[in-house]
Amino acid sequence: MKRVYVNEEWCLGCHLCEYNCAFANSGMKDMALALKDKKIFPRIHVEGDDRITFAVSCRHCTDPLCVKSCIAGAISVLDGVVCIDQTKCVGCLTCVLVCPYGALAPGESGVMQKCELCMGNACGAPACVTGCPNNAIVYEERNDAT
């Protein structure tokens, strides 16, 4: 399946992926209205220092620890995509405790949200990748054992 992969040597650390993610999942049509003067809660985040930067989002693991660990049974795998049922999540953060990639963070309400590859919103393909100016993240198939 297609996943988001990182080319960290090409990442400029511009954080555009975070804004495109927040906008894509806002459900709004106007980016300025959706994001201006607001604290954003993107499902991808840029890590790094003054030399290296890279974007981190859900790896959609083949054997996801978050799914096995969720105390509410709110996280499941649908056609390879690790998805969360936000109505079931109680915000205990156990998934944050177990994700080895540090890829999960709660949304504004304290309920968890996660990258679902923009399958659940109007984009249909990851908005972070579409908007990346330097191909530092790509959305493609790489040798998948499963």
Partner 1 sequence: MSRYVIVGNGTAAVGCIEGIRRVNTDAEITVVSEENHSVYSRPLISYYLEGKTDLERMKYRGDDFYEKNGCRVIYGVRATALDPSAKTVTLENGETLSYDALCSATGSRPFVPPFEGLDTVKQTFSFMTLDDVLALESALTDTARVLIVGAGLIGLKCAEGIRDRVGSITVCDLADRVLSSILDTDCAALVQSHLEENGIRFMLQDSAARFDGNTAYMKSGQTVEFDILVLAVGVRANIELVKDAGGETGRGILINNRMETSLPHVFAAGDCTEGYDASAGMRRVLAILPNAYMQGHTAGVNMAGGDAVFDNAIPMNSIGFFGLHTMTAGSGDGEMTEERSEGIVKRFFTKDGLLKGFMLIGQTDRAGIYTSLIREKIPLDTIDLELTKQAASNLIFSQDTRKKKFGGVV
**Does 41 contact partner 1 by CB under 8 A?**
no
Q: Of the candidates 22, 53, 55, which has an alpha carbon nearest to the alpha carbon of residue 40?
A: 22
Cα-atom radius of gyration of the chain, to the nearest Å? 15
**Does 108 contact partner 1 by CB under 8 A?**
no
Number of residues that bind partner 1 (CB under 8 A): 41
| Beta carbons of 119 and 3 less than 8 angstroms apart | no
Token pair for 81: 């995509």
State the minimum distance, in angstroms, from the CB of residue 12 to partner 1.
Answer: 16
**Does 130 contact partner 1 by CB under 8 A?**
no
Please tell me the distance from the alpha carbon of residue 138 to that of residue 75, in angstroms, as a whole number. Answer: 25
Site for partner 1 in 42-101 (CB under 8 A): 47-49, 52, 54, 56, 59, 61-62, 65, 68-69, 71-73, 87-88, 90-101
| Beta carbons of 140 and 7 less than 8 angstroms apart | no
Residues at the site binding partner 1, with contacts judged by CB under 8 A: 3, 5-8, 47-49, 52, 54, 56, 59, 61-62, 65, 68-69, 71-73, 87-88, 90-102, 104-105, 142-145
